[in-house]
Chains A and B, each alone.
Chain A
């Protein structure tokens, strides 16, 4: 399939500009008409340490990183050379080359910076090259960059060499460079780019292999965005003008994007002392009438369970984002996992309720974040958007026109002063902020400073006027009303067509996933169906209230279903069973928790094992867990 797609991997040390270089190249490929998907792998370290970014580009839809790759640009880890002898463990220096060979496809291309890397240090390098029919380009990229004055430009040299090898038009790259820099720096970079391009064309036969840039064309202009951009822009378009947070990977992505944009849109960003404060600030701002959001990753979200409960009890609208990484505790800061599901669903004391959305791609991130604000402000309830490190950092192209939507700054069920004047007040003239009787559970809401609407918000159980109360009748009324809100939300969400299925509608084998694994599962479905199986998939992107009817429809239509999730304990499968009270015999699990997301081939293999009722163990680092009834 090398002619259909390019999967280009750039490897080097953290801090060597791998990320920015790859983003620019991905954009250039997108501008040339291709669909792109990026995957970022990095250590929890600032400088040095093996890191890579993969860009998959194809004229076809790309939904995942794919399996393996066919082009390696290995730049070397420049920071591995700097410190004292023995400062790093292992063979840090050669990792950008040695660590990447296992997944390079047969017939693939290797470009390595001979100014930094020596293949003599790598065991059996030449044998492996021969065995796999790899095409090796040893280029002194560092030397070339130095000639033009700046060693850091070796990335540019690598991109120039890439373009020559795959037959990519340099104009796309030069245009992007001109957007990002100017003057001497731009000139030097363009010189390096062209030098590298030309020297490869002169010295090598670039037609000796099958790796080339596919042709592609878009019908309309595209933008390259990550899931975090989707969330940030969804929030802004829905009128969010207050963001408070504490830095924690990978939540920091959303936090920094919004922080940079807030001054431009007249909003406020607050970096505060801890996550308890972060969520409490969002509660305070929301209470005072601003659409506010906060968020964190697992460990930070643990601290937010207090303010989360406060928002629920005081019926203060609140949106919290949880970007999952591998746990428990600090876990693996830069690796994805889907194991905070139960944490997000059940944290906080008492019979607490929240709405939880779980988007699966940047478009859904945008849509569901907007929805999260609508639900939070209409029903006065905390709403969570849960996603993970994978979706947070991977970029995909989306039609630019998608973002051309109406803004919605509406405060939902919040009253104006005129409406407050007409709303119910008790016999003493006091505004009944937490009335018992609304049928949909939503009581009228006022904001400090509004005439006639003052009330006490309290995390204690309270009367309709907001007074603290332990009266049993009042307690039951208030608990019932808050529960009624959840029922209303469930019914309202059910009216939307929730949860699409993918693949053969008649298939009797199903794959079920959630969040960031959805695209990979869909790709696996295509491959399985192409090779003669009949399979379909369901991606669940709303966790609470659970789309029970839709999930039942799907599960009732198959004989067997494999739940694919990045968790050790099959939390998502457990959630389905809890919500439906059923399907113990139907659902088996494919689990992965080694820090890397699924690849399509792993899902294909597991599905084949299940469909054919074989007893094999998966060959990859995944685990198949049978259904409870098996």
Chain B
């Protein structure tokens, strides 16, 4: 028996397997977009045939951080903004795991912005879902990095003086090799995009628009939305960085004017993921590192092998 026999199970998986039967019902508000993420993620996992026990879901803090309380797999609810460094190390430690990280817009683009930039640049083979509702939810409605300029809250009573982060452009510029935006109000597209993102061999950044009916009432609820891949008005090559960039700018400008564009913006094939790049350079073993500790035949080099240089 392998040390990690949940991994690579080739069986039909029902999405209900990801529902923890015994847990309390989600504490998200009625109408919250986070339900949509949860549903899409379960559906995508089932479609990919992932065994819940080969999945590691790392979350940050906030409403989004509660995702793995309602999603039954191996989970790590980390600290605010830190889901990515925990997740990417887990993937390096055991490259056979399906690693997904999730956080909110404050978590992912604010306090964890530095980690986002670097994880994307390194192109770790994992999927990062950012619940983007343009507001801090769990701390009760403060302005977030994606809140529009002029947005009023208890921390910005005169209206937000800052221009919002442009998440798609930031993901692309930082080096993510898959960048997409989807919305909780479009569950079918969301599921498809998450399937693609997980299948993609590299860092997949999914900006997931989630409505916040409690704290962001004035903002649009992301309808009507346009699926750019389904519309004849938006013809561009998703593998072309410059065209993708232009399309992202258009999308990001339009969002605050009430037009919600969603879909795949950039898909870079053929670039080595970080794990592949490290293996290529000889700085990462072929075998998943974690397996060695359960392998009775593994050789453990001793300090005597390298103490010679000190003689």
- A285 with B93: CB separation less than 8 A: yes
Min CB distance, A452 to chain B, in Å?
A: 8
Residue B223 interfacial (CB < 8 Å) = no
Interface mask (A593-612 → B, CB under 8 Å = 1, otherwise 0): 00000000000000000000
**Which stretch from A51-59, A132-140, A233-241 is at the chain B interface?**
A233-241
- A459 with B79: CB separation less than 8 A: yes
Name the A residues within 8 Å of B303 (CB-CB): 233, 236-237, 403, 405
Residue in contact with B22 in the complex, picked from A285, A430, A451, A456, CB distance below 8 Å:
A430
- A449 with B6: CB separation less than 8 A: yes
**Which stretch from B37-45, B70-78, B197-205 is at the chain A interface?**
B70-78
- A450 with B282: CB separation less than 8 A: no
> For residue B71, which residue of chain A has the nearest CB?
A456
Name the B residues within 8 Å of A451 (CB-CB): 4-6, 53
- A449 with B283: CB separation less than 8 A: no
| Residues A239 and B293 in contact in the complex (CB < 8 Å), given A289-B94, A449-B7, A457-B75 | yes
Measured in the bound complex, the distance between the Cα atoms of B292 and A288 in whole Å is 12
Residue B11 interfacial (CB < 8 Å) = no
**Which stretch from A36-44, A119-127, A263-271, A571-579 is at the chain B interface?**
A263-271
> For residue B302, which residue of chain A has the nearest CB?
A407
| Residues A289 and B53 in contact in the complex (CB < 8 Å), given A403-B307, A409-B300 | no
Residue A276 interfacial (CB < 8 Å) = yes
Residue A306 interfacial (CB < 8 Å) = yes
| Residues A280 and B86 in contact in the complex (CB < 8 Å), given A273-B118, A449-B97 | yes
- A310 with B85: CB separation less than 8 A: no
> For residue B81, which residue of chain A has the nearest CB?
A276
Residue in contact with B285 in the complex, picked from A266, A418, A448, CB distance below 8 Å:
A266
> For residue B75, which residue of chain A has the nearest CB?
A456
* Interface size of B as a range: 35 or more
Residue B155 interfacial (CB < 8 Å) = no
Residue B106 interfacial (CB < 8 Å) = no
Those of A429-443 within 8 Å (CB) of chain B: 430
Interface mask (A279-295 → B, CB under 8 Å = 1, otherwise 0): 01111111111111000
- A453 with B53: CB separation less than 8 A: yes
- B290 with A223: CB separation less than 8 A: no
Those of A203-247 within 8 Å (CB) of chain B: 221-225, 229, 233, 236-237, 239, 241-242, 244
Residue in contact with B89 in the complex, picked from A239, A266, A282, CB distance below 8 Å:
A282
Residue A507 interfacial (CB < 8 Å) = no
Name the B residues within 8 Å of A278 (CB-CB): 85
**Count, chain A residues at interface, CB 8 A:** 79
Name the A residues within 8 Å of B22 (CB-CB): 426, 428, 430
Min CB distance, A427 to chain B, in Å?
A: 9
Those of B107-159 within 8 Å (CB) of chain A: 114-115, 117-118
Residue B82 interfacial (CB < 8 Å) = yes
- B293 with A281: CB separation less than 8 A: no
Measured in the bound complex, the distance between the Cα atoms of B307 and A224 in whole Å is 9
Residue in contact with A239 in the complex, picked from B86, B285, B300, B310, CB distance below 8 Å:
B300
> For residue A221, which residue of chain B has the nearest CB?
B311
Name the B residues within 8 Å of A236 (CB-CB): 301, 303, 306
- A242 with B92: CB separation less than 8 A: yes
Measured in the bound complex, the distance between the Cα atoms of B285 and A29 in whole Å is 39
- A288 with B298: CB separation less than 8 A: no
Those of B37-95 within 8 Å (CB) of chain A: 52-54, 56, 58, 66, 68-69, 72-79, 82, 85-94
Interface mask (A384-427 → B, CB under 8 Å = 1, otherwise 0): 00000000000000001001110101110010111000000010
- A306 with B82: CB separation less than 8 A: yes
- A284 with B77: CB separation less than 8 A: no
Residue B3 interfacial (CB < 8 Å) = yes
> For residue A401, which residue of chain B has the nearest CB?
B304
| Residues A448 and B115 in contact in the complex (CB < 8 Å), given A269-B283, A280-B78 | no
Interface mask (B225-247 → A, CB under 8 Å = 1, otherwise 0): 00000000000000000000000
- B311 with A222: CB separation less than 8 A: yes
- B290 with A290: CB separation less than 8 A: yes
> For residue B287, which residue of chain A has the nearest CB?
A266
- A287 with B76: CB separation less than 8 A: yes
- B93 with A289: CB separation less than 8 A: yes
Residue A105 interfacial (CB < 8 Å) = no
Measured in the bound complex, the distance between the Cα atoms of B287 and A268 in whole Å is 12
| Residues A449 and B94 in contact in the complex (CB < 8 Å), given A428-B21, A457-B76 | yes
Measured in the bound complex, the distance between the Cα atoms of B63 and A630 in whole Å is 58
- A454 with B93: CB separation less than 8 A: no
- A268 with B278: CB separation less than 8 A: yes
Name the A residues within 8 Å of B298 (CB-CB): 409
Name the A residues within 8 Å of B278 (CB-CB): 268
Min CB distance, B174 to chain A, in Å?
A: 11
Residue A262 interfacial (CB < 8 Å) = yes
> For residue A316, which residue of chain B has the nearest CB?
B76
Min CB distance, B296 to chain A, in Å?
A: 11
| Residues A310 and B97 in contact in the complex (CB < 8 Å), given A267-B289, A403-B304 | no
Name the A residues within 8 Å of B89 (CB-CB): 242, 244, 270, 280-285, 288, 292
Residue in contact with A449 in the complex, picked from B23, B53, B292, B301, CB distance below 8 Å:
B53
Min CB distance, A435 to chain B, in Å?
A: 16
Residue A345 interfacial (CB < 8 Å) = no
Measured in the bound complex, the distance between the Cα atoms of B308 and A229 in whole Å is 13
Measured in the bound complex, the distance between the Cα atoms of B58 and A403 in whole Å is 39
> For residue A397, which residue of chain B has the nearest CB?
B310
Residue in contact with A281 in the complex, picked from B68, B86, B292, CB distance below 8 Å:
B86
Name the A residues within 8 Å of B82 (CB-CB): 276-277, 280, 306-307, 310
- A225 with B310: CB separation less than 8 A: yes
Measured in the bound complex, the distance between the Cα atoms of B19 and A77 in whole Å is 69
> For residue B7, which residue of chain A has the nearest CB?
A449
Measured in the bound complex, the distance between the Cα atoms of B75 and A266 in whole Å is 27
Name the A residues within 8 Å of B74 (CB-CB): 448-449, 454-456
Min CB distance, B176 to chain A, in Å?
A: 15
Min CB distance, A468 to chain B, in Å?
A: 6
Name the A residues within 8 Å of B170 (CB-CB): none
Min CB distance, A114 to chain B, in Å?
A: 35
- A263 with B92: CB separation less than 8 A: no
Residue A22 interfacial (CB < 8 Å) = no
- B283 with A262: CB separation less than 8 A: yes
Name the A residues within 8 Å of B283 (CB-CB): 262-263, 268-269
- A310 with B290: CB separation less than 8 A: no
Measured in the bound complex, the distance between the Cα atoms of B24 and A614 in whole Å is 71
Name the B residues within 8 Å of A452 (CB-CB): 53
- B88 with A284: CB separation less than 8 A: yes
- A223 with B310: CB separation less than 8 A: yes
Measured in the bound complex, the distance between the Cα atoms of B118 and A290 in whole Å is 22
Measured in the bound complex, the distance between the Cα atoms of B69 and A456 in whole Å is 7
Residue in contact with B118 in the complex, picked from A277, A287, A291, A430, CB distance below 8 Å:
A277
- B302 with A237: CB separation less than 8 A: yes
Interface mask (A301-323 → B, CB under 8 Å = 1, otherwise 0): 00000110110001000000000
| Residues A285 and B90 in contact in the complex (CB < 8 Å), given A449-B74, A449-B290, A455-B74 | yes
- A266 with B289: CB separation less than 8 A: yes
Residue in contact with B68 in the complex, picked from A280, A309, A449, A456, CB distance below 8 Å:
A456
4 tightest CB-CB pairs across the interface, nearest first? A284-B89, A449-B4, A289-B290, A284-B86
24 sampled A-B residue pairs with Cβ under 8 A:
A223-B311, A224-B311, A262-B283, A264-B301, A265-B300, A266-B292, A269-B283, A272-B118, A288-B56, A290-B293, A403-B304, A404-B302, A409-B300, A411-B293, A414-B293, A416-B294, A417-B3, A447-B290, A448-B54, A448-B90, A449-B53, A454-B52, A457-B75, A459-B78
A: residues with CB less than 8 A from B are 221-225, 229, 233, 236-237, 239, 241-242, 244, 261-270, 272-274, 276-278, 280-292, 306-307, 309-310, 314, 400, 403-405, 407, 409-411, 414, 416-418, 426, 428, 430, 447-460, 466-468
Given pairs A233-B306, A449-B290, A451-B53, 19 additional interface contacts (CB within 8 A) = A233-B307, A262-B283, A268-B92, A276-B82, A282-B89, A284-B90, A286-B93, A309-B79, A310-B79, A405-B302, A405-B303, A428-B22, A448-B53, A448-B74, A448-B94, A450-B5, A453-B53, A454-B74, A467-B69
